[in-house]
């Protein structure tokens, strides 16, 4: 183990990557070198702030050293960066259960079932917690299948569809609120949302929505600080899209496929393709539109654009 | 003002320029195509009104720039003192470079408008 730690130490110095940092921190943690493991995690957070797994590792170290409250914060950070982080989601559910938030723990675990359908360990844990809620001792409850609304369309053995996790709304506020508006049929909504989730997870992105031509929200994802602004963003984006199309028509051009509105402390970016949907993002002023455009284009292709 | 717009139109990627006020009224223009200047100014004014309202609703401060682009060209708008400058862009326009190049022209127009 020692040689592997040394090898990884050299690797993170010469060719740093999130995976090598994570592995090194994991090995140090296993070797009970908690202080050094945490230092490696901090360095990784500094260099790769979007790395979700490292926050889960930090939480694990914090739990091992008795810092439960800090661990909760780290786990929320992990899930803000990647809502489909299995380890972080399960740890957070356990953390909620330890803090007597049993309904919250169940809701968290049900979110895991959305991207890991029929996961036996998760289903067992849900049964245990639900048993505790009813006053039955832990382990005495039989394992029940997931509720029908959460039951996967794919067989239990099939891999989870990418991005399906965000289609499920939690009973408790999730770190990044997301949702698919019911009643609006969209090709691929709730099935392939990985590109949309990736866009929403980009550094500096505060909120992202998929909007139809009438300004209705089809999909949305927002950080807590920007939550509630999705409808405003969608309605104005549709109106601005129309105004831009009118202006372009007068200039003798077809409607543009993207627009960027820069403001003092934020910017709004909108990208459209031929299927009538637009991806609109509210972001920090420092965010590079070109990078977001790539993600938005992929999200639109996921929604059925050509 | 025509001299500044004329110089601006010689910048690579710019296919025409137009200056309008907050009410969407035309102040000055130099377009290469035979587009309706008054209608363009009015449409640009309506667009600016919408984007201002969006900035207010989202509390992201005062708008500083707007650009829209597509396969066949696009538009760019930036504040120029009491007016707003609208640029019609060629399909091959480099938006990032144009943003830098247009700023001195906008400053000159703003200065001219305050005199």
In DSSP notation, B27-61 reads EEEEESS---HHHHHHHHHHHHHHHHHHHHHHT--
Could you read off the pLDDT of A66-125 as tens digits, one per residue? 888 889 889 988 888 888 888 888 888 888 888 888 888 888 888 888 777 778 888 888
- pLDDT of the residue at A305: 56
Selected residue of B16, B35, B60 to mutate for chain A interface (largest A Cβ count, 10 A)? B60
Strands A278-283 and A266-272: antiparallel
pLDDT score, position A102: 84
Q: Is the pLDDT of residue A251 over 60?
A: yes
Q: From the candidates B51, B85, B95, which should be mutated to test the interface with A, based on the most A CB atoms within 10 A? A: B51
Closest-CA residue in chain B for A283? B60
Q: What is the pLDDT of residue A145?
A: 40
Residue A52 near residue A87, CB atoms below 8 Å: no
Q: A253–B73: do the CB atoms touch at under 8 Å?
A: yes
The sign of the torsion formed by the CA atoms of A191, A195, A196, A202 equals positive
Task: Tell me the nearest-neighbour CA distance from A217 into chain B, angstroms.
Answer: 16
Nearest residue of A to residue B63, measured between CA atoms: A263
- Judge whether residue A164 has pLDDT over 80: no
Task: Write down the pTM of the prediction.
Answer: 0.55
Alpha-carbon distance B61 to nearest alpha carbon in chain A (angstroms): 5
In total, chain B counts a number of residues equal to: 115
Regions of chain B with pLDDT less than 70: 115
pLDDT the model gives residue B99: 86
Task: Check CB contact under 8 Å for B63 and A262.
Answer: yes
Task: Report the gap between the CA of A250 and the closest CA in chain B (Å).
Answer: 6
pLDDT interval class at A4 (50, 70, 90): confident
CB A84 within 8 A of CB A165: yes
Q: What pLDDT, on the 0 to 100 scale, is given for residue A167?
A: 32
Listed by start position, the domains of chain A span 173-306
Q: Which CATH superfamily is domain A173-306 in?
A: Dynein light chain 2a, cytoplasmic (3.30.450.30)
Contacts of A255 in chain B (CB under 8 A): 70
ipTM, two decimals, is: 0.90
What is the Cα A290 distance to its own chain's centre? 21
Q: What is the DSSP letter of A211?
A: E
> What's the gap in Å between the CA of A63 and the closest CA on chain B?
39
Q: Give residue A300's region: left, alpha or beta (phi > 0; psi -120 to 50).
A: alpha
Backbone angles phi and psi of A283, in degrees to 5: -140, 170
């Amino acid at each position: 183990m020692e040689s592997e730690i040394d090898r990884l130490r050299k690797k993170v110095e010469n060719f740093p990557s999130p995976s090598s940092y994570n592995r090194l921190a994991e090995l140090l943690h296993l070797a009970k070198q908690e202080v050094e493991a945490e230092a490696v995690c901090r360095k990784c957070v500094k260099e790769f702030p979007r790395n979700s797994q490292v926050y889960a590792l930090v939480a694990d170290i914090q739990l091992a050293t008795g810092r439960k409250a800090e661990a909760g914060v780290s786990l929320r950070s992990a899930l803000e960066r990647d809502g489909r982080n299995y380890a972080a989601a399960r740890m957070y559910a356990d953390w909620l259960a330890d803090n007597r938030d049993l309904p919250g723990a169940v809701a968290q675990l049900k979110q895991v079932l959305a991207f890991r359908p029929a996961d036996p360990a998760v289903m067992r844990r849900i049964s245990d917690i639900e048993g505790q809620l009813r006053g039955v001792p832990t382990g005495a409850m039989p394992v029940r299948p997931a509720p029908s609304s959460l039951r996967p369309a794919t067989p239990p053995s099939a891999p989870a569809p990418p991005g399906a996790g965000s289609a499920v709304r939690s009973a408790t506020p999730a770190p990044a609120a997301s949702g698919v508006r019911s009643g609006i049929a969209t090709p691929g909504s709730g099935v392939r949302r990985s590109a949309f989730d990736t866009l929403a997870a980009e550094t500096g992105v505060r909120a992202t929505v998929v909007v139809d031509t009438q300004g209705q929200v089809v999909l949305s994802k927002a950080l807590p600080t920007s939550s509630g602004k999705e409808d405003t963003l969608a309605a104005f984006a549709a109106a601005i899209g129309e105004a831009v199309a009118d202006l372009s028509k007068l200039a003798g051009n077809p409607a543009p496929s993207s627009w960027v509105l820069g403001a003092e402390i934020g910017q709004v970016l909108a990208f459209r393709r031929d299927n009538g949907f637009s991806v609109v993002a509210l972001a920090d002023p420092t965010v590079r539109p070109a990078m977001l455009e790539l993600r938005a284009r992929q999200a639109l292709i996921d929604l059925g654009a050509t | 003002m025509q001299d500044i717009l004329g110089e601006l139109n010689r910048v690579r990627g710019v296919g025409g320029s137009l200056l309008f006020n907050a009410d969407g009224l035309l102040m000055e223009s130099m377009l290469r195509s035979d587009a309706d200047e008054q209608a363009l100014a009015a449409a640009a004014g309506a667009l600016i009104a919408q984007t201002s309202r969006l900035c207010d609703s989202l509390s992201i401060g005062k708008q500083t720039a707007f650009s829209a682009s597509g396969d066949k060209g696009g538009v760019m708008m930036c504040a120029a003192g009491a007016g707003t400058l609208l640029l019609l862009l060629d399909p091959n326009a480099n938006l990032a470079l144009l943003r830098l190049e247009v700023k001195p022209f906008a400053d000159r127009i703003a200065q001219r408008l305050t005199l």
